Amino acid sequence: MEEFKYGDIKLSGSILNVNPLEVHSKIIEADGLLDYIHIDVMDGLFVPNRTNGIKMFKDNIRLENKPFDVHLMVEDPLRELSNYIGASIITFHIETLINSKTMQLDMDQFYDISREIKRMGAKVGIAIKPNTTVSFLRNLLNKVDLVLVMTVEPGFGGQKLIESTLNKIEKVREMGFEGMLEVDGGITPENALSVIQKGANVIVAGTSLFGADDVYDAAWTIKQK
């Protein structure tokens, strides 16, 4: 796996809302500025939307010579993992580990999932929704490679960034995390600087990137912030 240094800005392009017939051409338009291809996997249970993440992943991993960044928005991450062999990063949600009665993390479940991800040769990512308190992450930060702070409620692309989520990014850094800190949801060339200044170093962009008139210019502007 590639070495990652704190401070590098990486761009992960979400193909969620891209016409499947145009994915390859859109990636070519980014002309080397894209570091990861972001695959959104939704089961219609954990989030109110469903995607055919397996098809998106398998169709494109055969074609694209890029690392794949898989975001599992599903109730049972362990069951889904075998579908994404070959991914560089696999991220699952901390909310799937929280016992609704005791409000404690199921660490056995965390270890089961993270061990399988590592066995597959991928980096381990943990995601957190806008309304979940950051304190749940405290005991996991030294056990994961990536923290994904959702800057919108997961489930649909094209949403506007929730400004209050910027504090979450900052808090994760204040808790001592020096790894890959990814942000996903409503990131545009115009607001990318605000999330980078808070400590993010992996930017997920979808609609604002692949829907731009000039994909290369949008990618360059985000990375140069």
Q: Which residue is catalytic, options 35, 43, 184, 217?
A: 184
Residue of 8, 31, 40, 106 marked catalytic: 40
Alpha carbon distance 39, 16 (integer Å): 7
Distance CA 145, CA 68 (A): 15
Active site annotation includes 184: yes
- The CA distance from 4 to 181, in Å, is 11
Handedness of CA 64, 84, 111, 167 (dihedral sign): positive
Q: Is the dihedral angle over the CA atoms 109, 170, 122, 28 positive or is it negative?
A: positive
- In the DSSP assignment, the letter for residue 45 is S
Distance separating alpha carbons of residues 155 and 43, to the nearest angstrom: 10
Count of CA atoms in the C-beta half-sphere (13 A) of 125: 28
Active site residues: 40, 184
